[in-house]
Amino acid sequence: MKPSHTVNTDPFSAMLRRTRLAAIVRGSDADAALRTVLALLDEGVALVEVSLNTTDALGVIRRAVAEAGPAARVGAGTVLTEDEVARAREAGATWIVTPALSESVAASVRAGLPVLAGALTPTEAVAARRAGADAVKLFPASLGGPSYLKALRDPFPDLPLVPVGGVDLTSAGQYLAYGAVAVGVGSPLVGDAAHGGDLDALRVRARRYVTACAAVPEGERA
C-alpha cells in the first residue's frame, strides 16, 4: 500500500456517517494484524480500529500510521483507562473506542480524541453522549439485533448509534436501514487474517462490506 500524502480533515462524526463502516482488528500475530489494517485501508475501509488486546497493539497502530500516511484513520479499541488513552494517542491513534462507560471516555474528550463509547441500555446510551462521546457503540448489538436498535431510535431519533458485536453482511444493511449511522464489524469481516490467515479472502470481504454499507446512504432509512 502506498502512503497517502493528503491529510484527511473530515471530522470523525462526519466521516463515520459518510463511510458507514468501521472495521475492528483483533489478532494474535502483530505482523499479520498490521497487514490486515493496511489491506482494509487499501480496500476502502476508511476507519480501522485496532483492539488493544491485539498482540503489540500500540506497535501495530504506530506502524500502520507510518505506513499508510496522514490520510489514514487508525483508531484504538477496547480502551478502558486514562493511561491507555494517552498511550494510544502517542502511538498515533486518531480515535478511541471503549467497550463500556469507563474513565477512558472522559479522558478521550479531554485529549481531543473522538470517542465511540460502548453502551447497551437507553440510560447508558444517553450517559455516553452526555459524557462527550461522538457516537454510541451499541454493544453487544447481537443481544437485541436490528429490532432493538430500531426500538431505541423511537425515543432517541437523533442518537448516533453504531452497532458492534455479531454484525454480519446481512445484518449490517438491516442496522443501517433502521437508522444506525454506521456499523462496526470484527470477525465476520476480518476473519482469520489478523492471526496470519488468508489476506486475499479478507480483501474480497472488505469490498463486499464497503459496497453493502454504501448502498444504504444516510437519510434513506426505514
Sign of CA dihedral 65, 202, 9, 81: negative
90 is catalytic: no
Q: Is the CB of residue 153 less than 8 Å from the CB of residue 179?
A: yes
Q: What residue has cell string 444517553? A: 126
Q: One of 43, 84, 137, 150 is an active-site residue; which one?
A: 137
49 is catalytic: yes
Among 61, 89, 34, residue whose Cα is nearest residue 199: 34
CA 219 – CA 38 distance, rounded (Å): 30
Return the SS3 of 93. coil
Q: One of 43, 49, 84, 150 is an active-site residue; which one?
A: 49
Q: CA 216, 50, 87 angle in degrees (round to 5)?
A: 130
Q: Which residues are catalytic?
A: 49, 137
